[in-house]
Amino acid sequence: MKKAFTMIELVFVIVVLGILAGVAIPKLAVTRDDAMLVKGKSQVAAIRSGIALQKSKRLLEGNTTALTLDTNTTTAEGQELFKNVLDYPIISKNADGHWMKTTTGYSFKILGQTIPFTYNAATGFTCDTTNSSTGTNCKSLTQ
């Protein structure tokens, strides 16, 4: 007598694997989005902390020149962003979970939506939480 799996046993295993995949894959996609949000939130906190550190350092030195976040003037991918306030700059990339330099400041892309950020010495590094289309994700990144 040969020892092997019957066709019914194989079909049963395939059905069980299909059910498990149907349950697990959507959960993994949500986890990835949450991870990108947490990554962006921690980067915003690091940038704000770096700005505060540089302002304090300049105050102690008696330096009154305006703080710039980086020396980058191009909006292309692969540029070092926030080089003047972070020990390790963020490399720009036009994709979800990444930063880009814009003509008016910076942007963070999450869930296919681009969240614009600006830096002003008086108000700090901020995004518009009242914007009807990007305000919710802006709040998630900054609060």
pLDDT tens digits along 44-96: 999 999 999 999 999 999 998 889 999 888 889 999 999 999 999 999 999 99
Beta strands 113-120 and 124-127, pairing class: antiparallel
**Count: domains in the chain:** 1
> What is the reported pLDDT for 1?
61
Q: Is residue 114 part of a domain?
A: yes
Let me know: does 47 contact 86? Beta carbons within 8 Å.
yes
What is the domain range of residue 68? Answer: 7-142
Q: Is residue 116 part of a domain?
A: yes
Q: Does some domain include residue 2?
A: no
Q: How many CB atoms lie within 10 A of CB 24?
A: 10
Q: Does residue 28 or residue 104 have the better pLDDT?
A: 104
**Mean pLDDT taken over the chain:** 89
Average pLDDT score over residue span 92-112:
92
> So what's the pLDDT on residue 35?
87
Residue 123 lies in a domain: yes
Percentage above 90 pLDDT, the chain: 53
Q: Which two tokens stand for residue 90?
A: 């963020």
**Distance separating alpha carbons of residues 96 and 108, to the nearest angstrom:** 8
In a domain, 23, yes or no: yes
Does 1 fall in a domain?
A: no
